[in-house]
Amino acid sequence: MIDTAGIRRKSKVNENIEKYSVIRSLLAIERANVCLVMIDANEGVTEQDTKIAGEAHEAGKGIIIVVNKWDEIDKETGTLEKYKKEIYAKLSYLTYAPIIFISAKTGQRVDKLFDMINNVAKQNSMRVSTSVLNEVINEAIAIVQPPTDKGKRLKIFYGTQASTKPPTFVIFVNNKELFHFSYERYLINQFRKEFGMQGTPVRIIVREKNEKEEKI
């Protein structure tokens, strides 16, 4: 475990310390399998939280959002759900990351964290067989037809998993330009439905393949 120093500019004098903390955090992210993004329940998601969480996401790491100091919050029914919504609204690219509400002070739910870390690490290094992957791709194509543009329709020939940490899939298509972001997002959502992959980013690499070549 690497415990990074807090990143918050408290005064001008601390600017260098802050820069150093950021560099150390980036190095820690690189070395990690799973990153816990610690949020102070009193403050909510800060700009710096967003930046650091973004780095973990870009680095393809497993991510868990940990809201600490939950003991200090006045709770009513629905408080937890409200918090979750607010967090996902601010960290919109992290909706795959589970959120856990803990108190380091009282120990509330801290024991649950370790199962979560193990699970997210597993999801981050998940392998999907080519045959199962293509079943899911074919089903996805049948539910929502690939898009057309200027009279040309996107054709998805097949896919295969290229690497893990994070799960990265290569998808072979007739024309890269037709593989719009919205369809990519749809496919990733279908993958998540079928494979779980909770707490891990998922990547798709699109490759073009000649249609005639494909028919042989």
Among 32, 34, 66, 68, binds ligand GTP (CB under 6 A): 68
Cβ closest to ligand GTP, residue 18 vs residue 194: 18
Stretch that binds ligand GTP, among 46-54, 63-71, 138-146, 155-163 (CB under 6 A): 63-71
d(CA 204, CA 199) in angstroms, rounded, equals 17
Least distance to ligand GTP from the beta carbon of 72, Å? 5
Residue with tokens 């996107």: 154
Q: How far is CA 80 from CA 83, 102, 111, 178, 194, in A?
A: 5, 11, 19, 41, 27
Cβ closest to ligand GTP, residue 40 vs residue 194: 40
Among 23, 104, 144, 205, binds ligand GTP (CB under 6 A): 104
What's the token pair of residue 72?
Answer: 């200090």
CA nearest to 60, candidates 22, 24, 99, 93: 93
CB atoms within 10 A of CB 124: 23
Site string for ligand GTP, 69-88 (x = CB under 6 A): x-xx----------------
- Please give the residue ranges that form the binding site for ligand GTP (CB under 6 A): 5-6, 68-69, 71-72, 103-105
